[in-house]
Structure formats: C-alpha cells, structure tokens
Structure 1
Amino acid sequence: MKSIEITIPVLNEEDTLELQVKKVLDYFSALPQHEYDLCLVIADNGSTDETRTIASKLVESNVDRVRLVEIEQRGVGLALQASWNTSQADIVGYMDLDLATDIEHVKDVMDLYSNNDVDIVYGSRLHNESVVVGRTIKREITSRAFNFLLKTYLSSNFSDGMCGFKFFKRQHIDSLMTNGASSGGWFFCTETLVVAEKLNLNVIELPVKWTDDENSKVKILSLSLEYLKAMRRLKSCLKKSV
C-alpha cells in the first residue's frame, strides 16, 4: 500500500496539541478504505512548554499512525525539512495545527494522487470555488498583496502560496531544496511552489474551505519582513540554479 505522511509543525502548543491531533486521527479512522495509508508527523521546532511530552505520549498510544520529529531551532521550514528528509512515504505534505483548512480535503488529495499524474497539490483560498470564513480584511489584503508580489517579482503562476495545505511526491523533495527551497521560516512553504514551477512539475490547485483562527499566532509585520528577504534570496538563487 502507498503512503501519505502529513506533517504538522508545532511550537509551544501544549494547550491544543492533543485535541487537534485526536481530531486528525479520528478523521483518518473514519475514511473509507483507500490505496493510500495515512500517517501524521508532529514536528516540534524548539518548544519550551509541555508540547514534546504530550507529543511523545500521542506517539506511544498511536505508534502506527503518529511520528515525532524534534529539532531545537525554531522555524516552520526547518521543521518541515527535518520531517520530509526522514520520511519514507510516497507522498509528504503538511497542514496547520489549527486545521484552518478543512481536514476533509485530505480525501481530495488522496483522490488526486490516485487518478492523475500529479506531482504537487496545494490548497488555495483564492480559487473561485473556495470558501473562506471569518477572515479579517487586514489578513485578506496582506495575503492578496503578497501573492501579487510573487507573480510580479518571481513570475509565479499559482494563486495562493501561503495556504497551509500542500502535498508533494517525496521523490521531488530533494530537487526542490537543492534548487532554492531552503528557507528555515514560513516562506519555505511558498518557495516549494515557486521552484516546482521552474522545474516544470505538475502542480495542481485545490479549492478549499478555510476558516480563520482568531487565536492565530502569526504576526503579520514580522512575517512580511521575513517574506520580503526570502523572496529576494530566492530570486537570486533561481538565477543560478534553475
């Protein structure tokens, strides 16, 4: 049976980790039999609370369905790279712990990989068929501005580089990283799509239902500065490698 491993990056999530992971595992169990087997990876990047202790207990009680990756340095990109570089799955992907992207779309991903010659599937909140709930005007404007900047500065064609729901054939991960997708922070998730397009991989957009998390820890200003620096580095890297 083929496998899909979904990584959830976490940092100091002791209050919500167990509940959210159980939601994911319950969903896995409720899915009808499929050609893909599902596994969840908790990728902790530098937590200082009880997150790792809780994660370890979740692994112990779900040894066939949950794996823990631990890195000491903070960064979503670092967490995903550590997880994917140690994975043996056919498909690797990630989603956010808050499950802002409806978990029901995991079934859509499985079906896409089963029925099409697909390299990458990414969720888009900007697709005409997507449903976005509770998003503030500030976050909506910021998102659209950055996606516009990606199109103009990096010549990307995808609609939403920042949605926390992406899946890849693992065979392409090394190539994506060596050709420019190497940021340690949030921009890594967007970089993968930029590089994938340069490598002419088959990238499929998936319309999603997305619900804003009012308790999101994302800080728009600092994240914006991080993105701008990373975009500049990526453009320079692409000129040399792709």
Structure 2
Amino acid sequence: MRLLSVIVPCYNEEENIADFYNEVLKNEAYFKGHDVDFEFIYVNDGSKDKTVEKVKELAAKDERVHLINFSRNFGKEPAMYAGLEKSKGDYVAIMDCDLQDPPALLPQMYEAIVNEGYDSVATRRVDRKGEPPIRSFFARMFYRLINKVSKTEIVDGARDYRLMTRQFVNAILSMKEYNRFSKGIFGWVGFKNKWIEFENIERMKGETKWSFWKLFVYALDGIVAFSTVPLAFASLIGVLFCVLAFFFIIFTIVRKSLYGDPTSGWPSLVCIILLVSGVQLFCIGIVGQYLSKTYLEVKKRPLYIVKEEI
C-alpha cells in the first residue's frame, strides 16, 4: 500500500484541528480504493493555545496522526520544511489547517499525478473574496513585481497547498537555505507541474495570523531570495545621479563664465542634498537586505528546534 503524507503547519489552530482531520478523511474511501493510506503530520509552530493537546487527542485515537512540536514560533516556512523532512509518503501534500485549502481537491490532484504524469499539482485562488481591498491590491502588485524581476515564475494567487511526488519533495529538501520562500522554491526546482484553480474560501474558525506587516516582510524576503535586480537598480541609480551631478557642475561653470551669475540658492541646494542623501540611504538599505540574508545563512543555525515529537 502506498502512503500519502499530509503536512499541516499549525499556529494557534485549536479550533480547527479536529475539523480539518475529519474533512480530509472524507476522501478516505477514494484513497483506500486506490490502495493509498494517510499519515497526518501536524507541525505545531509554538502555539500559545491548546493546539498541542488537540493533536495529542487525535494521535491517541489514530496512530496515523503524528505531532512535531517546536520549542518556539519559528514561522510557517520552517514548519513546512520540518513536515517534509519527517514525511515518509510516496506522495506528500501541504495544507493549511484553517480549511482554506479544500481537502475535496485531493482526489483530483492525485489523479493528475498518477494518470497524467505530473510531478506536482498546485492550487491557486482565482479571487480574493473576503480580503480587505488594500491587502488584495498590494498582493497583486507583489506578484506583478516579482515576476518582472525574477526568472522564477511565481503564480498570482498561488497557495502552499499542493500534492507532490517523493522525487519532487526530495528536490525541495535538497535546498537547505535558511531564508526560505517556498512559493519560489517550488517553481525553481522545475519538474512537471499542474495548476488547479478554485474560488477563495474564508477560514472556518479563528483569525488569520498574517498581518499586513508580516505579509510585507514575507514579500520582501521573496524578492531578495529570487532576484538580484534590486542590487542592479541601486547601482543604476548611483550612476544616474553621478551623471546628473557632472552635467550640473558643467552647467554651473559655464553659466558663471558667460554671465557671471552668482551660485546662489541655498534652499534648492538643501533640497538636492536631502534628495541625494535619501536615495543613498535607500540604496544602502537594498544592499543591507542582501547582506542580512547572507549573514543569517553563514551562521548555519538550524531552521527549527523540536521540543517534542509523537
């Protein structure tokens, strides 16, 4: 019998643990008919509620339920990586616990891998119903921007919800970088991929853990991880301002020589200094982002620390 590993990153999801488990098991008859069994890998990312207790209750009833309990909150990316490392399945699915990733799609995704020869079947939302308009706007702008500056295709509305073959999972695990952006990593490794679209589903219970600021930082990580264009942009701005400064110097010298105009105008000079200083700090900030990521990589700290494993 083949095995399907379902990886479930969790952070303060006590209300959704059992509901998610029950929804996935609605597909059990289909997978049993195809000689496939489940294993559930719940990865608790430092939850402050009763998430761990709820998972342990499930594990006591079903030996297919496993728990990886982090020592603190490390983030969703390390949680997904930990689940991939611990998974033993011939096929591996990553799903959110809040049921925004519909488990009913699993049979269709499995069919695409087994019968159509795909290595990975991913999902994307075709709308952003229920999201604040300003958040949806910036999300769309992010996908447009990153696809212009990066050679790795990152699909608008892409979810982390996908079903993968073991070969695909092993390719992901071979990328041991500390600063992880899985949406880019999934695209970078290649293989044959299929996209399934669905309408946005609002979370069943609880509140989202992704604030606007967290999403902004995550987007910034994605751009830095999969493009060096910002560094080239900073260099281009530096060259541009050098050229402008050279022409202004020539202009000032010529005007003084021909017309004897005094080089006055300290308010405009102050404005120019402030503008150039701001641009310099902006470019230094871009370089600083890449330097900080390099700093974190070379320290070789573990992605996560496990406190308890069941």
TM range (shorter): 0.7 to 0.9
2-structure distance, mates of 1:182, 1:28: 35
2-structure distance, mates of 1:40, 1:146: 33
Q: What displacement does 1:3 show?
A: 1.9
2:53 aligned with 1:53, yes or no? Answer: yes
Partner of 2:196: 206
Seen in structure 2, the aligned counterparts of structure 1 residues 234 and 83 have a Cα distance that, compared at 3 Å, is same
Stretches of structure 1 lacking an aligned partner (at least 5 in a row): 238-242
Bigger proportion of residues as strand = 1
Secondary structure (helix, strand or coil) at the match of 2:44 reads strand
Stretches of structure 2 lacking an aligned partner (at least 5 in a row): 229-289, 291-310
2-structure distance, mates of 1:113, 1:81: 22
- In the TM superposition, what are the counterparts of 1:1-242 in structure 2 within 5 Å? 1-25=1-25, 27-31=26-30, 33-64=33-64, 66-74=65-73, 75-126=75-126, 133-160=129-156, 162-179=158-175, 182-183=178-179, 187-188=181-182, 190-196=183-189, 200-213=190-203, 215-235=207-227
Partner of 1:240: none
Seen in structure 2, the aligned counterparts of structure 1 residues 73 and 174 have a Cα distance that, compared at 3 Å, is farther
Note the alpha carbon deviations across 1:136-194, whole angstroms, 9 max, x for none: 4233323322221221121233423641312222223343344476535xx33x13223
Seen in structure 2, the aligned counterparts of structure 1 residues 232 and 158 have a Cα distance that, compared at 3 Å, is closer
Q: What displacement does 1:96 show?
A: 1.0
How many residues get paired?
225
Amino acid in the other structure paired with 2:220: L
Seen in structure 2, the aligned counterparts of structure 1 residues 80 and 120 have a Cα distance that, compared at 3 Å, is same
Seen in structure 2, the aligned counterparts of structure 1 residues 28 and 62 have a Cα distance that, compared at 3 Å, is farther
2-structure distance, mates of 1:44, 1:34: 30
Q: What displacement does 1:106 show?
A: 0.8
Contact kept in structure 1, 2:27 and 2:104, CA below 8 Å: no
Amino acid in the other structure paired with 2:81: Q
2-structure distance, mates of 1:120, 1:53: 33
- When the two structures are superposed, what TM-score results if normalisation uses the length of structure 2? 0.64
Secondary structure (helix, strand or coil) at the match of 2:227 reads helix
1-structure distance, mates of 2:223, 2:137: 19
Seen in structure 2, the aligned counterparts of structure 1 residues 181 and 207 have a Cα distance that, compared at 3 Å, is farther
1-structure distance, mates of 2:49, 2:89: 30
Q: Look at both structures and tell me which one has the larger radius of gyration over its CA atoms.
A: 2
Seen in structure 2, the aligned counterparts of structure 1 residues 36 and 146 have a Cα distance that, compared at 3 Å, is farther
Q: What displacement does 1:31 show?
A: 3.2
Contact kept in structure 1, 2:153 and 2:184, CA below 8 Å: no
2-structure distance, mates of 1:158, 1:230: 10
2-structure distance, mates of 1:71, 1:3: 25
Amino acid in the other structure paired with 2:133: I
- When the two structures are superposed, what TM-score results if normalisation uses the length of structure 1? 0.81
1-structure distance, mates of 2:223, 2:140: 16
Secondary structure (helix, strand or coil) at the match of 1:56 reads helix
Superposition misfits of 4+ residues, deviation over 6 angstroms: none
2-structure distance, mates of 1:63, 1:79: 21
